[in-house]
């Protein structure tokens, strides 16, 4: 297990996901090794039994099947103990009826990180915001265990779970089709073809009237990939 006492340690995009062992609500895990071959979303919340975190867990719990279908394992973490986690998740399931979501059972692992070891390893303790709880971090980790996207939100602002799913789908689309994705992309929108290597090729692309490329300028060419084509490859 990698460890650090340095709250300034911060894994970056492109780094291998730091490895750790932990106790969770679903038993012991070795992360990310236990989930190799799957996408992983490792996300922290500041504290159990708090309202923003409860709304977030319900949102994630309600979408669990969608993440499963995208071959993505969700793993939560906070600086709370196992019994707090168990009691909080039971309260969510048995008592909370929020925005049409009720009876939400969280089946993905929630890490006991009372030691703060995992939160420190992943740069989730940001002392200007809080020294005693993790910020709302989201790490997207690919099937080869490489960190691909990182998000950080403050304690007082709940995350957008539609955006989290859009990022996962976007990363899978980038990998499967070898393309880049423009602002606000969603499946079915045009995708960006990486710039060609030489000006000659770029000119050819600009003049490609019959092909499926659409060039806004020599460095900015797109093509259409249908929603169905994208969806057929997702999760693979
Ligand atoms: C919340 O989840 O409601 C929360 C947690 C920590 C600080 C502020 C809000």
3-class secondary structure for 2-20?
CCCCCCCCCCCCCCECCCE
pLDDT of residue 212: 85
pLDDT of residue 9: 80
pLDDT of residue 225: 95
pLDDT of residue 71: 97
The atom of ligand 1 lying closest to the CA of 53 is: 2
pLDDT of residue 4: 77
pLDDT of residue 2: 78
pLDDT of residue 61: 95
Cα(18) to ligand 1 centroid in Å equals: 26
pLDDT of residue 208: 62
Q: Is the CB of 155 under 6 A from ligand 1?
A: yes
**DSSP-derived 3-state class of residue 49:** coil
Cα(124) to ligand 1 centroid in Å equals: 15
Q: Is 199 a catalytic residue?
A: no
Q: Is the CB of 53 under 6 A from ligand 1?
A: yes
Which token pair is 183? 């602002």
pLDDT of residue 207: 62
Cβ atoms within 10 Å of 163's Cβ, excluding its own = 12
pLDDT of residue 209: 59
CA distance 44 to 125: 10
pLDDT tens-place string over residues 150-205: 999 999 999 999 999 999 999 999 999 999 999 999 999 999 998 766 554 555 56
Q: Is the CB of 50 under 6 A from ligand 1?
A: yes
Closest-CA residue to 88 (of 152, 45, 118, 145): 45
Cα(73) to ligand 1 centroid in Å equals: 24
Which parts of the chain register pLDDT below 70?
A: 196-211, 236
Torsion sign across C-alpha atoms 89, 93, 95, 101 = positive
Largest CA distance in the chain: 65
């Amino acid at each position: 297990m990698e460890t650090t006492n340095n709250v300034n340690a911060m894994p970056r995009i492109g780094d291998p996901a730091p490895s750790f062992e932990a106790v969770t609500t679903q038993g012991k895990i070795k992360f990310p090794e236990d989930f190799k071959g799957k996408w992983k979303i490792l996300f922290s919340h500041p504290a159990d039994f708090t309202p923003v975190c409860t709304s977030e867990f319900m949102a994630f719990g309600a979408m669990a099947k969608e993440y499963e279908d995208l071959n993505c394992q969700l793993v939560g973490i906070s600086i709370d103990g196992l019994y707090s986690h168990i009691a909080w998740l039971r309260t969510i399931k048995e008592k909370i009826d929020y925005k049409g979501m009720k009876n939400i059972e969280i089946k993905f692992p929630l890490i006991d990180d009372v030691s703060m070891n995992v939160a420190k390893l992943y740069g989730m303790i940001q002392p200007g915001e809080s020294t005693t709880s993790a910020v709302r971090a989201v790490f997207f980790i690919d099937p080869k265990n490489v960190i691909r996207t990182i998000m950080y939100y403050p304690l007082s602002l709940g995350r957008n779970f539609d955006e989290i799913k859009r990022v996962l789908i976007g990363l899978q689309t980038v990998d499967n089709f070898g393309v880049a994705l423009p602002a606000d992309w969603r499946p079915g929108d045009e995708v960006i073809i990486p710039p060609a290597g030489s000006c000659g090729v770029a000119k050819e692309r600009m003049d490609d009237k019959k092909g499926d490329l659409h060039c806004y300028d020599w460095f900015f060419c797109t093509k259409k990939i249908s929603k169905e084509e994208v969806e057929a490859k997702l999760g693979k």
